[in-house]
Amino acid sequence: MAAEMALVKPISKFSSSSPKFSNPRYAKFTSSVKMSATSPPTTKPRKKAAKTAIKETLLTPRFYTTDFDEMETLFNTEINKNLNQSEFEALLQEFKTDYNQTHFVRNKEFKEAADKMQGPLREIFVEFLERSCTAEFSGFLLYKELGRRLKKTNPVVAEIFSLMSRDEARHAGFLNKGLSDFNLALDLGFLTKARKYTFFKPKFIFYATYLSEKIGYWRYITIYRHLKANPEYQCYPIFKYFENWCQDENRHGDFFSALLKAQPQFLNDWKAKLWSRFFCLSVYVTMYLNDCQRTAFYEGIGLNTKEFDMHVIIETNRTTARIFPAVLDVENPEFKRRLDRMVEINQNLIAAGESQDIPLVKNLKRIPLIAALGSELLAMYLMPPIESGSLDFAEFEPQVVY
Ligand SMILES: [Fe+2]
Ligand SMILES: [Fe+2]
């Protein structure tokens, strides 16, 4: 998983048992990472407090849990005759090949580049690493648990989930190593226990995770291509790894495509169309609002934030239209106009929260702004959609997108 998906409010919550880190490959997450500054000793206030008090907002990357019993039923080959085991076998072989086994190897360029980065860019860069690491780690936790829970019912699908959790662990670990270049580290063991888990029914996990993987692919490949063409903005070597990295995300997305295909009830009725549009909207708006609060990062690597986001949204939407039964008309100029209006309202909302007013006044100021955000969202949701997908799936082939 690479992208953050957060705007959707939890339907209900329960705390999931913390996944076990029995595999030594993952053990490093619990043993070596700490929430505090690692070195050198400093008289500055320790970063620990800031990192421990994670400010939970609707736009914070979330951890997900689901109804694992329902998942088991969905992947029981006795019950579900749509499960194309030969397709899953083929996907499993691809995951076993482990194309990126030796890809994530660091060099001394990392630390040197981090030391050169100063001021606001350094700060926003650290935040980028933290948020990305949290999002990747969120994927690791969910896939690891699915791998464990589906082992008996469908060992092939279970093994693919475990191998995807391997990939996400690698991604999260690589980002966390990046944080060490800035003398920081996220305590992922602590995060596992301390963060709230958002509960999604399996069907919603499929929509949300498919989108998250594909949007992650488009984000990484777009940044990679941009920096390849404009190397003067290559301020930190992590971006050089994005080309192979994004292929992991693409493969993960293709696996969710195959999963959705095996559950035609999630794709072939009017409810599926409404949910598909809802999840597209949630994921696109969350990314746009998040990124527009962090333009310093995108400008720091020579990108125009809004242009970058629109490119990612349009490409993700085109990819998604291959499998979802309906998608949003994101290429209609009205869509971008409304997104930009939401950015303005969101800025006013943040300003209201940061003002010196007493809480009652703050809340009174917030009400019309939240209502305005809601009405923009509704208007975007109700824009005429694009009918898409392919119910007979005759042309479906997992493929490399670029
Ligand atoms: Fe990932
Ligand atoms: Fe992924």
Q: Quick: pLDDT tens for 306-326.
A: 999 999 999 999 999 999 999
Does residue 89 register a pLDDT over 70?
Answer: yes
CA–centroid distance, residue 2 to ligand 1 (Å): 5
**Alpha-carbon span 147 to 255, nearest angstrom:** 14
The answer, yes or no, to whether residue 297 has pLDDT greater than 60, is: yes
Find the 171 Cα to ligand 1 centroid distance in Å: 5
User: Could you say which ligand is closest to the alpha carbon of residue 135?
Assistant: 1
Supply the pTM of this predicted model. Answer: 0.84
Beta-carbon neighbours within 5 Å of ion ligand 1: 2, 136, 168, 171
Cα–Cα distance, 1 to 82 (Å, whole number) = 26
Enumerate the domain spans of the chain: 57-266, 270-390
| pLDDT attached to residue 274 | 96
Q: Tell me the β-bridge partners of 276.
A: none
**Angstrom distances, CA of residue 367 to CA of 340, 352, 362:** 20, 10, 9
Residues 6+ apart with CB under 8 A from 393: 261
- Strand, coil or helix: 51: helix
391 CA from centroid of ligand 2 (Å): 25
User: 339 CA to middle of ligand 1, Å?
Assistant: 26
Please report the pLDDT score of residue 38 as a whole number.
39
Run of H or E including 269: none
- Sign of the CA dihedral 32, 189, 63, 80? positive
Average pLDDT over residues 3-25: 35
Residue 215 Cα to ligand 2 middle (Å)? 10
E strand or H helix that includes residue 64: strand 63-65
Question: Ramachandran region of residue 135, left (φ > 0), alpha (ψ -120 to 50) or beta?
Answer: alpha
Residues 382 and 15: their CA atoms lie apart, in Å, by 34
Question: Mapping DSSP to helix (H, G, I), strand (E, B) and coil, where does residue 327 land?
Answer: strand
Give the Å distance between the CA of 137 and the centre of ligand 2. Answer: 10
Name the one residue in this structure whose structure tokens are 């063409």: 229
Residues 179-228: pLDDT tens digits?
Answer: 999 999 888 888 888 888 989 999 999 999 999 999 999 999 999 999 99
